[in-house]
């Protein structure tokens, strides 16, 4: 038996669900195919930043995309709250990147200046703050903090409430969600796609591959490529604590519940998302304590490692198949930051049937260009 | 870095027996235990409880002997008040927290002897002050000699309810009622499981407890269903289908289940035990797990009671010695034989008990939507059902949706209930719904303890 | 409400539960001291402010979180009493720096 839809979205994480919701609310009947209870699930390991100030050096299109998403977020959050009653805990008070040495501070200053130059007409407001200026914005910083960079665009949200809100809104808008439905088979023809998943066959004239690391194997079947690899990140989470942090930093944020999250590690560790390394956890804890000495008292109640979805150049890949028009792929490691763009910028493009020219720099064809140029 | 042939977590019957056996075979042994003194939960504070007549019998006799043997053995480094919070399965380095400092220790093998926990009993009102586990009241008796005052209700079933009733009545607890939740046909079903002759010693022990409890004035109500605790600010009465009683303290008990938090965090293979309605690590006949460096002994590998625990502890110690080349395979097998016989005898009555005291479906899956299942995050059964309808197929996705299992207990109290609710809602088995996959730290440590920075660098 | 049996287990260690002196047996836990003191709640939950008392007494349930000798959110059932120990209820989420932490609006 085969079920026909307007769109098949493969991947029920933050990326796939945001796109599926964006499509469904625009009137396209969408099926969202997801894996089971234990999948790699980068979404469940997301740190929760809606972050602009470290994104897109040397890639102005990515900087614009990130800024656009951060700007689209408030209306997405409001809409999800109205439709589902769920608060995604979005706060965009600006954000801080902490520097713990003169060297870090100088490098950061160069980085931010370059980012501003590349922003061109879009502009990019930022300030480099010394210790005292940082202390005014963030109470209780340690002596070790040399300074920081600040931008007004940054913020954070709850990845988990976002995922739940997107799932709920997608379902309430009439979308079809299928858990335990990893894609086992698929066939592609121009504007005619068929996949087998969870014992069913789904057909549609459009398909969106948003299966995270699963895209690497899935994409070639649909005339696409997604050369993504896992990059492990670890996060420490403390017990609930009364609100103390008025804004997030790149590696420390306080959630609405009050937990302090400590993160931002990067390791190349293959598909191993189970292992946690005490040395790395210790390094993260040390940086956190040097940044905010009061964090030392807090109990770590949980920690996790999760796998980021990384392209060779660290930038997202958005692409459409030349061979099979109607097949799209979305790959990125910033499912929270980019949720606004995915639901309300990318989804309309897919609904229209093709990606506009300004998306060309995100195509996986860039990796061939690099190779042929080299 | 310190090194040991064998690290054992847990100084209960399994851990103590394993340590003594391993040390006698020349292994260097480290025993890590959260408690200040050996005994585990079953023989908790057995040295300090001394001559408490309320605890006379097996507790003081067998438990006392085990603790004395453990204290007297040479070659054991015993580290009380210590917590294992991480193990690197590639290198065999364990991280242990003691006195506010974390230490890394190299071990050739880790034996988890983490014992059991009481099965959570999520009834309406179970978070009210004055409601606690029956085991908790027993720990208070063992560690502080304390007894509940005022009208006391013991609700549930299992061998511990009778033992506790007797101990508390001996210790002068207030008027006590036992609300037995067992099913009416359970006894006949249990008889069919057999094992009564081989297990006759344990059976006799149980029967004499029931007699003593009745003699000491225990009031018994059988076939109790739809239990709920009620009161303003604390428990004041217990209601059930067709009855109600005022009380100051309500003690709940529906048996015990293996503590699998650490074994699951280590990613070891587990199986669903349908007879005992719990997860247990997959073990071979030596207690070896799916990972080369890790073994499990005692109730943490499946509920069998303290006598089975000492046997599995000794067997696991023999296997550790064999793996380290201190014992030939033949010699290990020869030495294990008497322990295997002891184990078989200790487990003979198990199928009978598992059937007799099988928890009612409502204990595993609360009927009332308003019942709290996650005590830390205060999430109700109804919310879990909603998450299941939204598409959560297991406790890990429910955790992402609802925060069930994200609080300080990390799902020790709610994990199985959440899985059972999802299973019921989606029409799948609990095994299919799966189990939470916890992570290190196995127990909380502070950011400062982890960072271990000298104070002059901070501030 | 729990009562000691001083004839069996002499109560020799003086601790302070919410400032009130209580005598408890050596080796007892801080959670036991709270129950012997008859405190109505050892904590109020950070989620809903509900009162709780210790439930499992064996380090599993984390319902006995209390402030012990000025340190917030300690598992009281895992802490053995010491003479002069100060045990106070944990009310809601902990403070990060008691007394000195500059609070901001949530």
Q: Do domains B2-115+259-327 and B119-255 have the same CATH topology?
A: yes
Pairing of strands B176-180, B152-157: parallel
The answer for residues whose C-beta is within 8 angstroms of residue B418's C-beta and 6 or more apart is B373, B374, B384, B395, B398, B399, B404, B405, B411, B436
Q: Shortest CB distance from B446 goes to which of A142, A164, A299?
A: A299
Furthest C-alpha separation in chain C: 53
The listed CATH number (3.40.50.150, 3.40.50.261, 3.40.50.20, 3.50.50.60) that belongs to domain B119-255: 3.50.50.60
- Kindly give the residue spans of alpha helices, DSSP state H, lying in A57-101: 60-84
Write the DSSP symbol of residue A345.
Answer: I
A8 contacts A206 by C-beta, under 8 angstroms: yes
Which domains, from first to last, does chain A contain?
2-53+160-228+313-372 (3.50.50.60), 95-152 (no CATH), 229-310 (3.30.9.10)
pLDDT at A54 over 90: no
Angle between the N-to-C axes of helices B415-426 and B395-402, in degrees from 0 to 180, rounded to the nearest 10: 100
The answer for residues whose C-beta is within 8 angstroms of residue A82's C-beta and 6 or more apart is none
pLDDT at B138: 97
Q: Shortest CB distance from A37 goes to which of B434, B448, B458?
A: B434
Nearest-angstrom CA–CA distance, A333 and A311: 9
Distances (CA, A) of B89 to A306, B30, B92, B95, B268: 18, 18, 5, 12, 11
pLDDT at B177: 98
pLDDT at A274: 64
What is the chain A residue with the closest CA to C94?
Answer: A241
| B132: chain C residues, CB-CB within 8 Å | 53-57
**Chain C closest CA to A298's CA: distance in Å?**
7
- B14 Rama class: left (phi>0) / alpha (psi -120 to 50) / beta: alpha
Question: pLDDT, tens digit, for every residue of A148-187?
Answer: 999 999 999 999 999 999 999 999 999 999 999 999 899 9
B254 contacts B156 by C-beta, under 8 angstroms: yes
The answer for residues whose C-beta is within 8 angstroms of residue B34's C-beta and 6 or more apart is B81, B82, B83, B443, C59, C78
Strand partners, B219: B177
pLDDT at A370 over 80: no
pLDDT at A121 over 70: yes
Nearest-angstrom CA–CA distance, C106 and C101: 14
Query: What is the DSSP code string of A89-122?
Result: --B-S-EEEEE-SHHHHHHHHHHHHHHHHHHGGG
Question: pLDDT, tens digit, for every residue of B259-315?
Answer: 999 999 999 999 999 999 999 999 999 999 999 999 999 999 999 999 999 999 999
Nearest-angstrom CA–CA distance, B66 and B73: 11
pLDDT at B103: 94
Q: How confident is the model at residue B196 (pLDDT cuts 50, 70, 90)?
A: confident
Nearest-angstrom CA–CA distance, A247 and A232: 25
Q: Shortest CB distance from B36 goes to which of C2, C27, C50?
A: C27
Ranges in chain C, pLDDT < 50: 98-106
Q: Which CATH architecture has domain B2-115+259-327?
A: 3-Layer(bba) Sandwich (3.50)
Question: pLDDT, tens digit, for every residue of A64-73?
Answer: 999 999 999 9
Residues A37, A40, A41: CA angle, nearest 5 degrees = 75
**Chain C closest CA to A245's CA: distance in Å?**
7
Q: How confident is the model at residue A369 (pLDDT cuts 50, 70, 90)?
A: low
Nearest-angstrom CA–CA distance, B245 and B295: 46
Question: pLDDT, tens digit, for every residue of A274-312?
Answer: 677 888 899 999 999 999 999 999 999 999 888 889 999
* Residue B394 in contact with partner chain A when CB distance is under 8 A: yes
Nearest-angstrom CA–CA distance, B102 and B96: 5
Quickly count: other Cβ atoms within 10 Å of residue A309's Cβ. 28
- A89 Rama class: left (phi>0) / alpha (psi -120 to 50) / beta: left
Does the distance separating the beta carbons of A34 and B458 come in below 8 Å?
A: no
Mean pLDDT of B425-441: 94
Which domains, from first to last, does chain C contain?
12-89 (3.10.20.740)
Closest-CA residue to B253 (of B126, B149, B79): B126
Q: Shortest CB distance from B393 goes to which of A36, A167, A168?
A: A36
What class does CATH assign to B364-433? mainly alpha
Does the distance separating the beta carbons of C103 and A242 come in below 8 Å?
A: yes
Per-domain boundaries in chain B: 2-115+259-327, 119-255, 364-433
Report residue C91 as tokens.
């009310």
Phi, psi values for residue C66, rounded to 5°: -145, 165
Question: pLDDT, tens digit, for every residue of A28-50?
Answer: 999 999 998 776 677 778 899 99
Query: What is the DSSP code string of A162-225?
Result: HHHHHHHHHHHTT-EEESS--EEEEEEETTEEEEEETTEEEEESEEEE--GGGHHHHGGGGT--
Nearest-angstrom CA–CA distance, A190 and B340: 66
Does the distance separating the beta carbons of A160 and B394 come in below 8 Å?
A: no
Question: pLDDT, tens digit, for every residue of B121-166?
Answer: 999 999 999 999 999 999 999 999 999 999 999 999 999 999 999 9
The answer for residues whose C-beta is within 8 angstroms of residue B208's C-beta and 6 or more apart is none
Closest-CA residue to A47 (of A187, A254, A309, A275): A254
Q: How confident is the model at residue B359 (pLDDT cuts 50, 70, 90)?
A: very high
pLDDT at A253: 96
pTM of the model: 0.94
What is the chain B residue with the closest CA to A239?
Answer: B408
């Amino acid at each position: 038996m085969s079920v026909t839809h307007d769109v098949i979205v493969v991947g029920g994480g933050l990326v796939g669900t945001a796109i599926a919701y964006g499509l469904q609310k625009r009137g396209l009947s969408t099926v969202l195919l997801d894996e089971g209870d234990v999948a790699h699930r980068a979404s469940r390991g997301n740190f929760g930043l809606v972050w602009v100030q470290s994104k897109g050096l040397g890639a102005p299109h990515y900087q614009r995309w990130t800024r656009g998403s951060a700007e689209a977020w408030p209306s997405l959050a409001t809409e999800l709250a109205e439709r589902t009653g769920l608060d995604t805990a979005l706060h965009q008070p600006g954000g801080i990147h902490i520097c713990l040495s003169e060297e870090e501070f100088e490098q950061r200053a160069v980085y931010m200046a370059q980012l501003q130059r590349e922003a061109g007409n879009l502009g990019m407001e930022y300030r480099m703050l010394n210790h005292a200026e940082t202390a005014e914005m963030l109470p209780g910083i340690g002596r070790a903090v040399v300074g920081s960079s600040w931008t007004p665009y940054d913020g954070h949200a709850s990845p988990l409430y976002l995922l739940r809100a997107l799932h709920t809104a997608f379902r309430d808008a009439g979308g079809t969600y299928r858990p335990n439905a990893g894609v086992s088979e698929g066939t592609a023809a121009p504007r005619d796609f068929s996949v087998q998943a969870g014992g069913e066959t789904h057909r549609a004239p459009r398909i969106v591959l948003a299966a995270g690391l699963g895209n690497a194997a899935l994409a070639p079947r649909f005339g696409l490529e997604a050369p993504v690899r896992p990059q492990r990140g670890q996060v420490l989470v403390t017990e609930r604590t009364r609100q103390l942090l008025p804004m997030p930093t790149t590696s420390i944020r306080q959630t609405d519940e009050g937990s302090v999250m400590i993160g931002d590690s990067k390791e190349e560790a293959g598909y191993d998302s189970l292992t946690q390394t005490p040395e790395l956890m210790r390094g993260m804890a040390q940086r956190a304590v040097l940044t905010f000495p009061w964090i030392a008292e807090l109990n770590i109640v949980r920690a996790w490692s999760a796998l980021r979805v990384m392209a060779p150049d660290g930038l997202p890949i958005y692409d459409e198949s030349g061979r099979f028009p109607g097949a799209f792929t979305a790959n990125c490691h910033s499912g929270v930051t980019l949720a606004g763009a995915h639901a309300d910028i990318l989804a309309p493009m897919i609904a229209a049937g093709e990606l506009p020219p300004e998306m060309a720099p995100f195509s996986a064809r860039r990796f061939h260009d690099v190779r042929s140029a080299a | 870095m310190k090194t040991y042939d064998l690290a054992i977590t847990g100084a209960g019957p399994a851990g103590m027996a394993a340590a003594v056996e391993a040390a006698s075979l020349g292994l260097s042994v480290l025993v890590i235990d959260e408690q200040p003194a050996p005994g585990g939960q079953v023989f908790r504070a057995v040295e300090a409880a001394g001559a408490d007549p309320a605890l006379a019998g097996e507790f003081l006799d067998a438990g006392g002997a085990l603790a004395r043997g453990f204290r007297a053995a040479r070659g054991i480094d015993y580290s009380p008040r210590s917590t294992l919070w991480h193990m690197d399965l590639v290198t065999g380095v364990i991280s242990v927290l003691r006195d506010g400092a974390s230490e890394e220790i190299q071990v050739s093998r880790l034996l988890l002897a983490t014992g059991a926990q009481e099965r959570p009993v999520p009834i309406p009102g179970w978070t009210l002050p004055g409601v606690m586990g029956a085991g908790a009241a027993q720990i208070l008796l063992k560690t502080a000699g304390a007894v509940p005052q005022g009208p006391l209700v013991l609700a549930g079933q299992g061998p511990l309810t009778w033992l506790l009733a007797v101990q508390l009545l001996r210790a002068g607890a207030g008027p006590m009622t036992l609300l037995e939740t067992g099913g009416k046909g359970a006894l006949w079903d249990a008889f069919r499981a057999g094992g009564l002759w081989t297990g006759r010693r344990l059976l006799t022990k149980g029967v004499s407890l029931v007699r003593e409890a009745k003699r000491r004035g225990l009031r018994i109500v059988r076939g109790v269903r739809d239990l709920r605790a009620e009161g303003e600010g604390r428990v004041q009465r217990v209601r059930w289908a067709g009855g109600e009683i005022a009380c100051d303290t309500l003690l709940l008990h529906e048996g015990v289940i293996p503590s699998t938090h650490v074994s699951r965090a280590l990613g070891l293979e587990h199986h669903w035990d349908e007879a005992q309605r719990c997860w247990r690590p997959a073990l071979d006949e030596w207690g070896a797990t799916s990972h080369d460096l890790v073994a499990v002994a005692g109730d943490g590998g499946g509920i069998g009671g303290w006598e089975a625990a000492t046997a599995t502890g000794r067997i696991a110690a023999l296997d550790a010695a064999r793996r380290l080349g201190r014992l030939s395979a033949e010699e290990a097998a020869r030495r294990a034989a008497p322990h295997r016989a002891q184990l078989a005898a200790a487990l003979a009555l198990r199928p009978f008990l598992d059937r007799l005291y099988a928890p009612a479906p409502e204990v595993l899956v609360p009927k009332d939507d308003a019942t709290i299942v996650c005590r830390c995050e205060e999430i109700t059964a109804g919310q879990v059902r909603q998450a299941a309808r939204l598409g959560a197929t297991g406790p890990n996705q429910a955790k992402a949706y609802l925060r069930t299992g994200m609080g300080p207990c990390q799902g020790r109290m709610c994990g199985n209930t959440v899985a059972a609710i999802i299973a019921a809602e989606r029409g799948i088995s609990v095994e299919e719904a799966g189990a939470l996959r916890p992570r290190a730290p196995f127990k909380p440590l502070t950011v400062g303890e982890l960072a271990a920075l000298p104070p002059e660098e901070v501030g | 409400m729990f009562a000691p049996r001083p004839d069996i287990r002499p109560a020799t260690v003086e601790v302070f539960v919410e400032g009130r002196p209580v005598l408890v047996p050596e080796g007892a836990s801080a959670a036991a001291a709270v129950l012997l003191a008859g405190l109505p709640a050892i904590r109020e939950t950070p989620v809903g402010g509900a009162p709780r008392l210790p439930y499992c007494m064996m380090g599993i349930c984390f319902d006995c979180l209390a402030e012990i000798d000025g340190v917030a959110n300690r598992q009281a059932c895992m802490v053995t009493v010491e003479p002069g120990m100060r045990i106070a209820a944990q009310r809601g989420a902990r403070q990060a720096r008691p007394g000195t932490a500059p609070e901001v609006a949530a």
